[in-house]
């Protein structure tokens, strides 16, 4: 039995969401019946915290996203006036400084939408690699750049480090009096950043609804201000989101409610071992994958459970996949023919397949809301709280410990060196004669239901992307396991929660390097003194996460590349193939 929901105004048109659930249909039917009997949709819209737990903590104050659309529609004049003023002041570029929920939606908008009539080129910095920081300091004209400091808590270490560096860069060029006008803050009420922004004379402070968690904030100031600056017509985006919210409301029957069926499908299939949600996206909307990856992974990966989003993986033979996959196609209407044949083959091989048709890029407004509500429903089905992130702090604590050691001893803690050659050093609890053999031994420990996570604490570049994709493809083909890629420390604010909070199915390959040119992090904005560099910080974050993973009983290997990161990764992939 297949389920198809038509969300178009013309009911004679093709269905926009289709579920091909194979032998799992009976389980989904039962779960949907329970959803209806327990009035889960109604209770979610009523902000009933008992849907997910016995305590309101980190639930009742995390449901503001249900009403963000209407709230932000009332804020459109403020945003439009701000964008026009920025444009009139001669700015040509925007550099958003943020991590996780503060950076992924802006990155999506910048990568997906064409520039509008009034638009600036929006860039996103969410890497503490010194090369990443320097690349923007060299390529952007600071006199014509607006810097957005974006953090819900106001205390995100990476974001504040970026701010201090670029603030000092501007002070050197134009002096204290005019520097503040180049900065904008997006944060929660009374956060540390509010006081900092007032102290340094930021041109604007956007105070977000504090009842919206970071990964649910795409349709708030955090996503919409950068979107508007890049030329997106956010009024259209919000109108599409509003239509989707109406389709997902309690007044709609369960079998016509896309979020109800999608959320139940995600949660129920995960309970039956199909917990690797493998996304295939139209190229133009590929950045949606990074956003939905954080939403699902950080929301569901806890209490020994989790749904692993798999993004950008090259296909292998349908009969070569393990029986732990749910394939999710999200494709633009004019692109849907490209993968139809493969969808049919996957279905014949017994894999559940879900297909969502997106008419145009503005339909992503609706997709934000659809996946947020579906993820909340999946949390109900898995009996977890989808709004907290109890394991994220583990890596942060360990990284801070590493930094303290550095500040005291002027070096980071030493680890057990397995081997070293001219290309790389290998650290871990594995005996091997070469880096490729060490990686082979790591992945030889696979068990049913496992996955591989490549954690790259290196500068994100196009050539490195290509090399990592090659390594991902080789590991998937070699092991048949779902294989993911994350740039550190960005993934710590995303899949990092799942890595340490799920059932222990991850095998972790860390890739680190030493930047030839390091960059000091100012201790205070406007002052030159520095006690740590970005190079030390990113390595401390890698070592801290490695220790957190090991303390959770995870399998970890670190490959420290000495130079030429992309070429070395490609060489290792070839040796593994």
CATH number of 276's domain: 3.40.50.10490
Task: Output the pLDDT for position 8.
Answer: 41
Classified as helix, coil or strand, 99 is coil
Picking from 412, 426, 281, 294, the residue whose alpha carbon sits closest to that of residue 355 is: 281
333 domain residue, yes or no: yes
Whether residues 446 and 563 fall in one domain:
yes
| Non-local CB neighbours of 464 within 8 Å, separated by 6+ positions | 456, 458, 565, 566, 569
Whether residues 97 and 214 fall in one domain:
yes
Whether residues 89 and 218 fall in one domain:
yes
Whether residues 163 and 267 fall in one domain:
no
Q: pLDDT (tens digit, 9 = 90+) per residue, 35-92?
A: 999 999 999 999 999 999 999 999 999 999 999 999 999 999 999 999 999 999 999 9
Question: What percentage of the chain carries pLDDT values higher than 70?
Answer: 96
Which range marks the domain in which residue 322 is found? 2-39+253-382
Whether residues 397 and 376 fall in one domain:
no
53 domain residue, yes or no: no
Q: pLDDT (tens digit, 9 = 90+) per residue, 479-493?
A: 999 999 999 999 999
In this prediction, residue 509 has a pLDDT band, given cuts at 50, 70 and 90, of very high
Q: Strands of 213-292 (E only): list them.
A: 276-281
154 domain residue, yes or no: yes
Whether residues 450 and 558 fall in one domain:
yes
Whether residues 487 and 362 fall in one domain:
no
Whether residues 398 and 542 fall in one domain:
yes
Average pLDDT over every residue of 410-418: 88
Domain boundary among 382, 411, 437: 382
Backbone angles phi, psi at 124, to 5 degrees: -125, 125
Among 104-118, 135-149, 424-438, the minimum mean pLDDT is found in 104-118
| Confidence check: pLDDT of 203 > 70 | yes
User: Is the CB of residue 309 less than 8 Å from the CB of residue 258?
Assistant: no
Give bridge partners of residue 326 from the DSSP assignment: 277
In this prediction, residue 395 has a pLDDT band, given cuts at 50, 70 and 90, of confident
68 domain residue, yes or no: no
501 domain residue, yes or no: yes
Distances (CA, A) of 298 to 118, 224, 309, 500: 35, 22, 10, 10
Whether residues 372 and 399 fall in one domain:
no
Task: Output the pLDDT for position 114.
Answer: 86
| Non-local CB neighbours of 506 within 8 Å, separated by 6+ positions | 450, 451, 452, 453, 499, 549, 554, 555
Whether residues 400 and 377 fall in one domain:
no
Task: Output the pLDDT for position 344.
Answer: 84
- Model pTM score: 0.95
| Residues present in the chain in total | 577
Q: How many CB atoms lie within 10 A of CB 309?
A: 24
105 domain residue, yes or no: yes
Task: Output the pLDDT for position 398.
Answer: 87
482 domain residue, yes or no: yes
Task: Output the pLDDT for position 414.
Answer: 86
Query: Rounded to an integer, what distance in angstroms lies between the CA atom of residue 82 and that of residue 229?
Result: 9
Q: pLDDT (tens digit, 9 = 90+) per residue, 283-312?
A: 999 999 999 999 999 999 999 999 999 999
Whether residues 433 and 565 fall in one domain:
yes
| Confidence check: pLDDT of 336 > 70 | no
Domain boundary among 331, 357, 382: 382
Domain boundary among 360, 382, 404: 382
User: Is the CB of residue 59 less than 8 Å from the CB of residue 46?
Assistant: no
Q: pLDDT (tens digit, 9 = 90+) per residue, 17-32?
A: 888 998 999 999 999 9
267 domain residue, yes or no: yes
Whether residues 435 and 496 fall in one domain:
yes
What is the total count of domains within the chain?
A: 3
In this prediction, residue 15 has a pLDDT band, given cuts at 50, 70 and 90, of low
């Amino acid at each position: 039995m297949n389920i198809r929901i038509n969300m178009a105004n013309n009911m004679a048109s093709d269905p926009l969401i289709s579920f091909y659930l194979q032998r799992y249909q009976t389980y989904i039917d039962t779960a949907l019946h329970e959803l209806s009997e327990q009035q889960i949709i109604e209770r979610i819209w009523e902000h009933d915290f008992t849907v997910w737990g016995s305590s309101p903590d980190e639930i009742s104050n995390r449901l503001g996203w249900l009403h963000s659309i209407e709230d932000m529609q009332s804020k459109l004049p403020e945003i439009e006036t701000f964008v026009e003023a920025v444009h009139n002041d001669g700015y040509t570029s925007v550099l958003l400084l943020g991590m996780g929920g503060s950076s992924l939606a802006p990155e999506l908008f910048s990568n997906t939408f064409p520039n509008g009539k009034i638009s600036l080129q929006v860039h996103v910095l969410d890497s503490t690699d010194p090369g990443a920081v320097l690349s923007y300091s060299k390529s952007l004209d600071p006199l014509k750049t607006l810097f957005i400091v974006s953090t819900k808590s106001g205390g995100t270490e990476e974001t504040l480090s970026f701010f201090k560096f670029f603030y000092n860069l501007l002070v050197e060029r134009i002096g204290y009096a005019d520097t503040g006008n180049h900065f904008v803050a997006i944060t929660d009420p009374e956060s540390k950043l509010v006081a900092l922004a007032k102290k340094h004379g930021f041109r604007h402070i956007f105070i977000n609804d504090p009842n919206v968690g970071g990964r649910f904030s795409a349709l708030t100031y955090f996503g919409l201000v950068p979107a508007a600056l890049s030329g997106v017509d956010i009024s259209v985006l919000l109108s599409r989101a509003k239509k989707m919210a109406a389709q997902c409301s309690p007044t709609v029957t369960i079998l016509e409610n896309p979020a109800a069926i999608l959320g139940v499908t995600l949660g129920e299939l995960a309970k039956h071992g199909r917990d690797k949600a493998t996304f295939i996206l139209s190229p133009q909307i590929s950045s949606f994958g990074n956003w939905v990856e954080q939403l699902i992974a950080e929301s569901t990966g806890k209490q020994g459970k989790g749904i692993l989003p798999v993004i950008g993986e090259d296909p292998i033979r349908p009969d070569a996949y393990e029986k732990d996959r749910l394939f999710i196609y999200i494709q633009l209407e004019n692109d849907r023919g490209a993968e139809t044949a493969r969808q049919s083959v996957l279905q014949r091989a017994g894999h559940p397949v879900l297909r969502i048709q997106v008419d145009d890029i503005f339909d992503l407004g609706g997709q934000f809301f659809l996946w947020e509500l579906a993820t909340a429903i999946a949390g109900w089905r898995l009996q977890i709280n989808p709004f907290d992130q109890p394991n994220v702090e583990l890596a942060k604590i360990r990284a801070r410990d590493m930094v303290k050691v550095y500040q005291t001893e002027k070096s980071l803690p030493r680890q057990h060196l397995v081997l070293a050659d001219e290309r790389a050093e290998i650290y871990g609890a594995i005996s091997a004669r070469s880096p490729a053999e060490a990686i082979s031994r790591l992945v030889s420990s696979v068990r049913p239901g496992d996955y591989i996570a490549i954690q790259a604490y290196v500068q994100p570049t196009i050539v490195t992307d290509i090399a990592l994709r090659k390594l991902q493809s080789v590991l998937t083909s070699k092991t048949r396991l779902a294989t993911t890629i994350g740039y550190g420390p960005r993934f710590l604010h995303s899949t990092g929660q799942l890595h340490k909070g799920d059932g222990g199915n991850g095998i972790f390959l860390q890739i680190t390097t030493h930047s030839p040119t390091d960059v000091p992090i100012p201790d205070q904005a406007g002052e030159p003194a520095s006690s740590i560099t970005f190079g030390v910080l990113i390595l401390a974050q890698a070592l801290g996460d490695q220790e957190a993973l090991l303390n959770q009983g995870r399998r970890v290997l670190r490959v420290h590349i000495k130079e030429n990161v992309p070429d070395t990764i490609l060489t290792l992939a070839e040796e593994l193939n």
